[in-house]
Amino acid sequence: MNPGAMFILLVLFIILGIALMAHRTQEEARRKAEKFREGIKIDGSMVILPRRMGLVKGRLILKGHWSSTGKSRHYSVDREFTRETELKTDRIELKPERFSLVMNRNEDVLIDVPAYLVTEPEFENTVVIPINPSYRFELDRQSLEASKDMEFAHARIELTEWGFSGKLYATVQKCRGARLELKWKDPDTTEKLAETSESAEFRREFMREKFVIISNKNVADPRSFKRLLGNAAFMEGHGEYAVELTLDVPLGSDVHDRATLRAEPGAEVPEGETRVEVVV
């Protein structure tokens, strides 16, 4: 066998070895997470742990994106767990805390959630992520307008308990119409709320379901949250959003107007059952 072929074969073996090792690591993390899940139960606003355990309260941030070398594509994930406090307990209180779950259709992802790192050796790197949707909304403008010559679009927005609603109007002849979108800056994510050449109503509510997610801080894949939320793209949780009105101008620059929507954690824990899921 010539040296060139041997080198290629060696590279292939290395790649295969790395892939097998990564798969084995992920399966071991999943096994630990499943075992931990079997040992906990939900009692009202408490997660009852299998026993008194050492925990580190903090935040888990996952960022994912596709990158290309020109010949191949690779999905990269940045994982960061920031420590806040250490404790020894047999339960975790479920209360409203800040969380952000964002993914666009290119699978650019931001997961920023409260997390409890389990320090017991048998559950090494396992994290418990409580998500309790509760919101307090602020909107800097309730009326949006966009116009060009004698054509215009107008949106009226009203806050609701779980988000916002309103009406979109358009008076157009040459313009194609108007649309209203909800946007997140990083990763760049857009959701169409309404589109019309006359009038349309819109309503956007943020997630209400409560979760306790069992994961692993070292191998969690943020794309796995698609299965949890049941959508290929999503924008949920707390942070700063833009509500953007666009007058669609053919053969010219579109006209925009926008409002800033801020979502902060509310004071009340929502009613209903809490789903316990493994996401690795």
**pTM greater than the 0.75 cutoff:** yes
Residues 113-164 have pLDDT tens digits of 999 999 999 999 999 999 999 999 999 999 999 999 999 999 999 999 999 9
Give the chain's length: 280
Burial level of 160, CB count in 10 A (0-12/13-18/19+)?
A: middle
Please give the sequence-ordered ranges of beta strands (E in DSSP) within the chain, or none if there are none: 41-43, 46-68, 73-93, 100-103, 109-118, 126-131, 135-139, 143-148, 151-159, 163-171, 177-184, 189-196, 199-205, 210-216, 234-237, 239-248, 255-265, 274-278
Counting residues of the chain whose pLDDT is more than 70, the rounded percentage is: 91
> How far is the C-alpha of 184 from the C-alpha of 265, rounded, in Å?
18
> How far is the C-alpha of 264 from the C-alpha of 136, rounded, in Å?
5
Least confident of 156-160, 171-175, 189-193: 171-175
> How far is the C-alpha of 194 from the C-alpha of 245, rounded, in Å?
10
Burial 90-110, CB ≥16 within 10 A → b, else e: eebebebeebbbbbbeebbbb
Residues 28-82 have pLDDT tens digits of 989 999 999 999 999 989 999 999 999 999 999 999 999 887 778 889 999 999 9
> How far is the C-alpha of 260 from the C-alpha of 161, rounded, in Å?
17
| Residue entry with tokens 């649309």 | 179
Counting residues of the chain whose pLDDT is more than 90, the rounded percentage is: 82
Running DSSP on this structure, what letter comes out for residue 270? P
